[in-house]
Amino acid sequence: MAVLLISLQIIIALKLKAPTGFDPGGIMNQATYTSLSSSGQSYLSRYPNNLLLFFLERLIFVLAGRPSAINFLAVLIILNIVVLDLTIIINYLILNIFNPKKIQILIFGFLSITFFVFTPWIIVFYSDTLVLLPNSILCYLLLTYFRYSNTKWYLLRGLEIGITLWFAYHLKPTSVIILLAGVIVLILSKSIRKTKIVILLLSSLILATSFIVLQQGFTQFTNQQKIVHLDCNARFTAAHFMMMGLQKTGRYSRTDVINSINQPTVSKRTAYNKKIIFQRLKAFGVKGYIKFLIKKNYYNTGDGTLGWGKEGNFLIDYYPTQHRFIKSFFYPNAQRQIYYRVFCQVIWVFVSFGILLTISISDPRILMLQLAFAGLLLFLLLFEGGRSRYLIQFLPIILMLASIGYARLADWLKHRLCSS
């Protein structure tokens, strides 16, 4: 069964493959250049959070023998599939932590196939999908932190969490939310009272040390490499993304980006961003801001396709006469895309209801997943959002909660039927 699903996954992906016109496509193109263009230098200077992804793609390009653009895209898509399929495996390990019943396994399996296997997002090699694997590993490490009560186990867990967190953070900084949720639940856990405080402090120290060592090594490599010249004054800070998150639907704003670019230094840019933030908050007022957040949350979470086709120049179809039938279901503005969108929306409503069913569950492990998901929703309300695409990074948590919710509903229905 697994071989069949993976085979179908690869066939569909390769038939749909096409370069993207937003960030993923730009990074892929720059990774293939002998020397970066000025636009590539500027992009990575403004968004240094994508540096790891750029260097990774550059390494893959070289190891693959410097293939043509379309063949390089095929290589990246295959790697994307590997990441997604490994994510499914890790998620099943997480699922087993909850001693799942058959219905929970079936629902989670169905949702995993829907969102990780038969999804057009597999043709977009970007941090949205790549971070799924380290985020899933991070969840697993935190949920099994107290599995054994020996010193070596805690010290090893600290090292594993530190390394995993570093990779996840450099793909999506929001991965820190998972760690924060895990720490909160671990502190509240009864198991912490049975563990010596010295061991926990040592584990935390190893976690922090491993993260810092990796960060210092990466910083040194970035400063010494000759592939891309970074302008330290071009960097966008968190204030820029908070500023963008306060206009219209809170999504990407070209006007805001240009205005931030026009500020000559990081300090002046941050000061400008903060000034605009206060102006927009003042213009909203309390009631207006609450209304804005409600509307923004709808745009953050309402699209079952997870923002498929919403970005500018989303797909560039170089071969419009090939594979027309399958493209007609997935390509933006294609003839049959409505079927795909309706299907995704129905599934998304199903998932959302499942998450609501977990609200009253008191299991601390489930609380960690709930806190992580709530943390992401809060982050997207405060910073750049306005697209359901930003939920992809936490899909394992979302689908896990939904399957748990329906398992609880099944138990409730069974109890009611038996009692009557």
pLDDT digits (tens, 9 = 90+) for 265-315: 999 999 999 999 999 999 999 999 999 999 999 999 999 999 998 887 788
pLDDT digits (tens, 9 = 90+) for 68-78: 888 999 999 99
pLDDT digits (tens, 9 = 90+) for 304-350: 999 998 887 788 887 777 888 888 888 887 888 999 999 999 999 99
User: What gap in Å lies between CA 151 and CA 145, rounded to an integer?
Assistant: 12
* pLDDT for position 38: 79
How far is residue 66 from each of residues 11, 37, 71, 332, measured CA to CA in Å? 23, 18, 9, 30
* pLDDT for position 379: 96
Using the predicted structure, report yes or no on whether residue 143 has a pLDDT greater than 80: yes
- H helix count then E strand count, the chain: 18, 0
**How high is the mean pLDDT of the chain?**
91
Task: Determine what percent of the chain is predicted with pLDDT higher than 70.
Answer: 98
| pTM of this structure | 0.94
The predicted model gives 91-110 an average pLDDT of 90
What one-character-per-residue DSSP string does 206-231 give?
Answer: HHHHHHHHHHHHHHHHHHH-SS----
101 and 410 in contact (C-beta within 8 Å)?
yes
The predicted model gives 391-404 an average pLDDT of 95
* pLDDT range class, residue 194, cuts 50, 70, 90: low
User: What gap in Å lies between CA 263 and CA 270, rounded to an integer?
Assistant: 9
116 and 396 in contact (C-beta within 8 Å)?
no
The predicted model gives 92-100 an average pLDDT of 89
SS3 20: strand
The predicted model gives 80-100 an average pLDDT of 92
pLDDT digits (tens, 9 = 90+) for 235-248: 999 999 999 999 98
Using the predicted structure, report yes or no on whether residue 412 has a pLDDT greater than 70: yes
